[in-house]
Amino acid sequence: MNVLEAIEITKVYSIGDRRIPVVDRVSLSVRESEFLVVQGESGSGKTTLLSLLSGLDRPTFGRVRVLGRDITDLAEDDLAPLRNEAIGFVFQSFHLIPSLTAAENVLFPAELKRDPAAHTKAQRLLQRVGLSERGGNFPHQLSGGEKQRVAICRALINTPRIVFADEPTGNLDSRNGKAILDLLLDLHREHRTTLLLATHSSEIAGLADRVITLQDGKIAGERPHAP
């Protein structure tokens, strides 16, 4: 079953009289429980592609379907609940709310959903990532690796069907980067979550079920991971 489909999606930015396609006629399908890596150098369009596929941004042309639903023209009031309940997003720069504690950052999506079990789920997730004693700390009191673990908990609290991770190890040292990657893959296997991860790392790409390479906003290559 495909949980995600993109049909000829294009994103064009205008700078003065220039029109620059950042993503250019990309079509792809993603299967349920698949681990797909989007690989490419900086500026290749990886972040923009993930934003389009997840509904954080809209394509200039083309269509996006999530869980069989065309989200391309959905009003924000309809799109926001779908993103909150079905999609998790882990950013390179964490995007934690500085005025909220670690636990409150994790809780935020579940409280939007009015989940009565939100506090229990947040505690379990923080314990799962080794941060049960850090829930009362604010983001500025956490290390980079701890912030990224909080961000992963926030992305997973609503048990999303699809998780997008945009260079999730990019701002971390090698030890913390490996720990974060291992954590994402463990949770992907445990919950059979579809995982789309953007990276320029060939090492990370070697762990994926499938790898798509972007170059200048276009798919320049696609390959399954060798068994």
| Annotated domain spans of the chain | 33-55+76-224
- The length of the chain in residues reads 227
Place of tokens 């994103």: 11
Residue 136, token pair as written in the block: 């009362």
> What is the architecture, at CATH level 2, of domain 33-55+76-224?
3-Layer(aba) Sandwich (3.40)
Q: Could you read off the pLDDT tens digit of each residue along the chain, which spans 227 residues?
A: 899 999 999 999 988 888 889 999 999 999 999 999 999 988 899 999 999 999 999 999 999 999 999 999 999 999 988 888 899 999 888 899 999 999 999 999 999 889 999 999 999 999 988 899 999 999 999 999 999 999 999 998 998 999 999 998 888 888 888 888 888 898 888 889 999 999 988 888 899 999 999 999 999 999 885 44
- Indicate the helix (H) or strand (E) that contains 10: strand 2-15
Q: Is 100 exposed, middle or buried (0-12, 13-18, 19+ CB in 10 A)?
A: middle
Q: Is 171 exposed, middle or buried (0-12, 13-18, 19+ CB in 10 A)?
A: middle
- Indicate the helix (H) or strand (E) that contains 63: strand 61-66
Among 183, 181, 170, which Cα is nearest to 144's? Answer: 170
